[in-house]
Amino acid sequence: MQAACGFAISRGIGVAELRVLSTMGLAGVVRNLGPGFEAARGLRLDATFEPTLRIMARIRAGERGDVAIVTADGIGELLDSGLVAGRTDLARSFVGVAVRAGSPHPDISTREAFVATLLRAKSVAMSQAGASGIFMAGLLRRLGIAEAVGAKATILSSGFTAELAASGAVEIAIQQVSELMVVPGVEIVGRLPREIESVTIFSAGVFREALQPHDAASLVAELASPAHADIYRACGLEPAGTGSALRA
């Protein structure tokens, strides 16, 4: 059976909760695997999905949970500060482009084609606080088109850029492919061309102050299981340590 991405997490009442603070990049995977894990463990996942920078800001401000899922650098910081125990790499993620379903797919096959597409587009949506947003800000500067693209870009501090493409508010949405894929009404054009692409590692850690440490460790182990490789790929990701796919 082909894997799908983006099932909802259940909302049971009167059961133990496992608090998950997660990057939006893993939202599809967590939502997909969540119901089975909840049923097997007899608990409910209370998951918050936001860009990594926002999740890290919440943790620095004192918010805690049972499991943190952010970039590998983010987990490294939490390890150094003693807030989580261990790091488990879950997935490799790539920045990509999406358009409204049924719209023509622009050419992003090469660096030159990608630049031309951005300059030709009437409107673009990008993330601000996520890994893709930070990468794109630097990339546009390196390509020498930051001012031209910035003048017509909608920058989201949180949320899914593909929602703006789906509604027709923008012509092109740029974000992690896994984040683009959870939004209905869009089509994935592909990843950025190889010569300029970005690879982000998403990792998980169990909070040292976790109220459900054993269940938290079990969730991380479940997310890291090789048995779920097809789910990761269906959600636009590659399991950590595997080869890449889903090229433009």
Name the residue ranges covered by the structural domains of the chain.
16-92+201-239, 94-196
Which pLDDT score is estimated for 158? 85
* pLDDT-based confidence at residue 4 (cuts at 50, 70, 90): low
Check for a shared fold between 16-92+201-239 and 94-196. Answer: yes
CB 89 within 8 A of CB 138: no
Cα distances (angstroms) measured from residue 235 to each of 7, 46, 69, 157, 207: 11, 20, 16, 22, 26
Mean pLDDT in the chain?
91
What is the average per-residue pLDDT within 64-70? 97
| CA 85/CA 203 separation, integer angstroms | 12
Query: Per-residue pLDDT tens for 114-152?
Result: 999 999 999 999 998 778 988 999 999 999 999 999 999
Which pLDDT score is estimated for 215? 97
CATH class held by domain 94-196: alpha beta
Which CATH number applies to 16-92+201-239? 3.40.190.10
Instruction: Work out the end-to-end distance of the chain between its first and last CA atoms, rounded to an integer number of angstroms.
Output: 25
What is the average per-residue pLDDT within 68-89? 96
Task: Kindly report the pTM of this predicted structure.
Answer: 0.84
